[in-house]
Every structure is written in C-alpha cells, then in structure tokens.
Structure 1
Amino acid sequence: MAKEELQTLVMEQKILNRIYVIRNQKIMLDEDLATMYKVETRRLNEQVKRNLNRFPKDFMFTLTQKEYEHLKSQNAISSWGGRRKLPNAFTEQGVAMLSSILNSDIAIEVNIRIIRVFSKMREYALTHNEILVHLSKLEKEVKGNSKDIENIFTVLKELIEKQAKPVPPRNKIGFKHY
C-alpha cells in the first residue's frame, strides 16, 4: 500500500470517528471540524453566525444539554476543558456549506474528504439494504424445505443487521494538544 493511500485511510478513519448520530442524523461537532480545519472553534462559529442564512435547521443545529451530556457520557467528547455554549452539530449538507464560508485551502481539502466519507457511508448502508432484500427473497423461496437453511438465513440476517448499526465511538487514547 502506497504512503499516500495509507494517509488517506488514516484521515478517513479520523473523520469516521468524529461522526455521531444525533436526532437520527449523522453529524459532526463544531469543535471537531474546527480542529480538522486548524481554526479555533469560536472562529468557526463566528463565521457561521455571520452567515446564518446559509445554515437552515437541516444543515446545522445546536445540541441540547441532554444530547451534549449523552455524548460526554459515551466518551465521544472530552468531559473536561469545558465550554460556555452548547456545541453546534453540522449535517453533511452543513459541512458542505462550511466550505463556502471558510475559504482556506485546508478547509476545502478537509471538506472534500469529509464529503467522500459521508458518501461511502451512504453506499455502505445501501449495499447492506440490498443484501437484506435478496436474503428475504431467498428465504421465502427456501421456506419449508429445510430447517437448517432457515437457521442459516436467520444467522446471516442477524450478522448483517449488527454490522449496519452505528459503531459506538471508541475511547481516545493519549493527550489532547491545544
């Protein structure tokens, strides 16, 4: 594997680790995006505030205190260091819109990578759905012929459904640099 491919995979994994599911939407937090764009979180939010008309509720929303506490309890985000305001959550469309207000080379490059990761996640979900549909059809055709085959289908469906569920975030290891 070439060095560039490895770097791409590492970056994609870092992005995946920062995508959370809140309100049944895949989102990224302002502080994670700011870190990736190499800007301060408050600067990112200032730019968003100046361009609020570009961020309707399906592009960006502010987490509730309960949602924020839930993320902290899962170790998805740091429980120390504190924030004065609740974090903003950006959907895929919101992340895409950020590239229009953060006009740096880093922001553009990072946005392209993030959008690609979101697209791969969508493709992955569609592939799993197609497999489940095919399994259902096969199961109906085989039904009644053999109990062993029915058991195999049951196990296969369970495995696919387990993989389709979002993976809980892993604990971060190491020190946080400021």
Structure 2
Amino acid sequence: RVKSNRGIEFRRWANRVLKEYLLKGYSVNRRLTELEHTVAEHSRKIDFFVRTSLPPVEGIFYDGQIFDAYKFATDLIRSAKKSILLIDNYVDESVLLMLSKRNAGVDADIYTQAVSHQLQLDLQKHNSQYPPISIHTYKKCHDRFLIIDGADVWHIGASLKDLGKKMFAFSKLSIPAEAVTGLL
C-alpha cells in the first residue's frame, strides 16, 4: 500500500471512477448490449431458415439441375392439402411417379394433349396401387401449369418429365386459379 500523497490521490481517483462506472451501469449495459446483439443475430439466422424453407416464387433451373428441379416439383406436390391440377402436354410414367408423392386425400388431375396407349396402361397400373389420378385431354394450352389446392398457380417452363434437362424458368402467378381452370 502506498501512503504518499500521489498514491492517495490515485486511490481516490480510481475509487471515484470505479464508483461512477458501477453506478452508471457501464458493465451491465455492455453485457446487455452484447446479449441484444446475440439475440438479433440468432433472429436473423432463424428468419433465414424460415424463408428458405418456403419455395421461391420464381427462379431458373439450369441445364443439368435435374435433381434440384425434381425436388422443387415434388415439394410443390407435397405442399398440396386438397388438390393438384397439372396441365402438361408431355406426360409419362415419371409424372405419375411424382404425383404419387402427394399427401393422402389429395386429388390429382392431369390435362394433356394426347393420352397414348402406353400412358393409359401406365395410369391403370398406377391407379391399381396408388390413389387414383384422372387424366383428361386438352389441346388448347402450350405452357405448363401446376395448380395447388385450387389457389396457387405455378407456371413451369418445362414439362415435369423433363425438368432440369434444359434450362427453364418457373414462377408463381398472382392470378386466381379460375383464370386457368375456367378454360378447361
């Protein structure tokens, strides 16, 4: 312990500064600020994961992104709670397989340009094992549409059977489903 005048002055100054520091709560405020920063960072991370768990409303899949495009389409199919309506002029057994991934109790209808004999056989075999899919002929549509629960209209730039084989775009349209289904 220093008993000189300078030592005593220093102790008084240090005690005054420490007392002021504690009374004003600098230490507590710093810790609270750090906690607030940590909570904000965690909140941003949680928001990111919530946003990324929802399908994007538009995008492009490039040549070779076959699995990514397939996963995107099957996730849309699995999101249906009541019904799926697909308008696609080029349907084969791979589309039936994708639609078999839908939830129980979800109706599925396909509108296509022509129902070949092979597709009819594939459909019979599919319907004997899985919940049935109805196929209808419709020749007045060039684009592909996937309508989920009679509400969400997705425009898909490639046939479901060819997703990812070539570059294509997709988008969720902000139109009522009746704008498309009313023409069927």
TM-score (norm 2): 0.26
Counting helix residues as a fraction of each chain, which structure ranks higher? 1
TM-score (norm 1): 0.27
Counting strand residues as a fraction of each chain, which structure ranks higher? 2
